[in-house]
Amino acid sequence: MSTWKHCSSCKADIDFGQTYWVCNVSTCNRNRMALYFCSVSCWEAHLPTMRHREAWAVEKRAPSASEWERQQAEESAAEARASSSSSSSSSASSSSSSSSPAAAAEASRRKVVPSALAPAGDLPEEILIVVSKLKKYIRARSGMNTSDTVLHKLSDHLRHIADQAIRNAGEDGRKTVLDRDIPPVPRY
């Protein structure tokens, strides 16, 4: 396997150890949506859609195959440590809550389909909202700007709401999530 990534513009292969280009703008270099370009002309092709005020291409070199495997192994080990620590804390909290009789009755009443929710490690952690529309709404409503860190928090909230809707549909024995499955919006 000699391909490291694919060009975000023309989809050409970027091989291990090959020179490639990235955009200097931080929104094009996030872990979840990083853009890689095989040439400066491919980098220039993304400018009209991204509408950066000021941008330039930064030349980089792809890692070797061994470096890439080492990086992937380190990342998967870090994710495993993070998931094991979060699962141990959640299992401790669930065992304390299940000890109450009301919680036990509630758990027996529910008809949750065990395979309805995939393991959290298998799910993509993408942004689930349309960024431009959110920023436009906040600007129109308050005149304020919106930080990019808000997008991850809102996406996490949406995932939580979607998970609850999936559970509600499963309890009703349906395989389709309906509008009535969405939990009500709290009013402040």
Locate the domains of the chain by residue range.
Answer: 3-62, 66-109, 112-188
| Predicted TM-score of the model (pTM) | 0.43
Q: How many residues does the chain have?
A: 188
Per-residue pLDDT tens digits for 148-182: 889 889 988 998 899 999 998 888 888 899 989 99
> Distance between CA 104 and CA 108 in Å, rounded?
6
- Which residue would you say has higher pLDDT here, 81 or 158? 158
Indicate the CATH number for domain 112-188.
1.10.20
Query: pLDDT class for 145, splitting at 50, 70, 90?
Result: very high
Residues 76-86 as b/e (b if ≥16 CB within 10 A, e otherwise) read eeeeeeeeeee
Residues sharing a CB contact under 8 Å with residue 72, sequence separation 6 or more, in sequence order: none
Q: Please, are residues 31 and 13 in contact by the beta-carbon 8 Å criterion? A: no
Q: Which of 103, 118, 114 is nearest to 170 (CA)?
A: 114
Average pLDDT of the chain, as a whole number: 80
CA atoms within 13 A on the CB side of 92: 6
The tens digit of pLDDT for each residue in 101-124 reads 555 545 444 444 444 566 666 667
